[in-house]
Amino acid sequence: RLAIEGNTLAVGVSQDDRVGPGAGAVYLYERSGAGQVPWQHAQTLHAPDGKPGDAFGFGLAIYCDQLVVGAPM
């Protein structure tokens, strides 16, 4: 899943295994300007209470400076 707003890109990887199998993660990228400037990894987010199978990052939305991350129930 992808969400983009201005110079911020969020990539949801709901099957990321760093916290546990299928726990999920969101990778945030930023760029310093428009055009051909490459995206730079800025931060990796995991659910604060993440556990295997959560699929954190399954849904994403960005508006202004707010990021909403979802997971299936």
- E-state strands within 2-70: 2-5, 8-13, 25-30, 40-45, 59-63, 66-70
Other C-beta atoms lying within 10 Å of the C-beta of residue 24: 27
How, if at all, do strands 59-63 and 40-45 pair? Answer: unpaired
The pLDDT assigned to 38 comes to: 87
| pLDDT tens for each residue of the chain, 73 residues long | 999 998 899 999 999 999 999 999 999 999 887 666 789 999 999 999 999 999 999 999 999 989 999 999 7
The pLDDT assigned to 72 comes to: 92
The pLDDT assigned to 15 comes to: 96
Is residue 18 within 8 Å of 46, Cβ to Cβ? Answer: yes
**CA 71 – CA 54 distance, rounded (Å):** 7
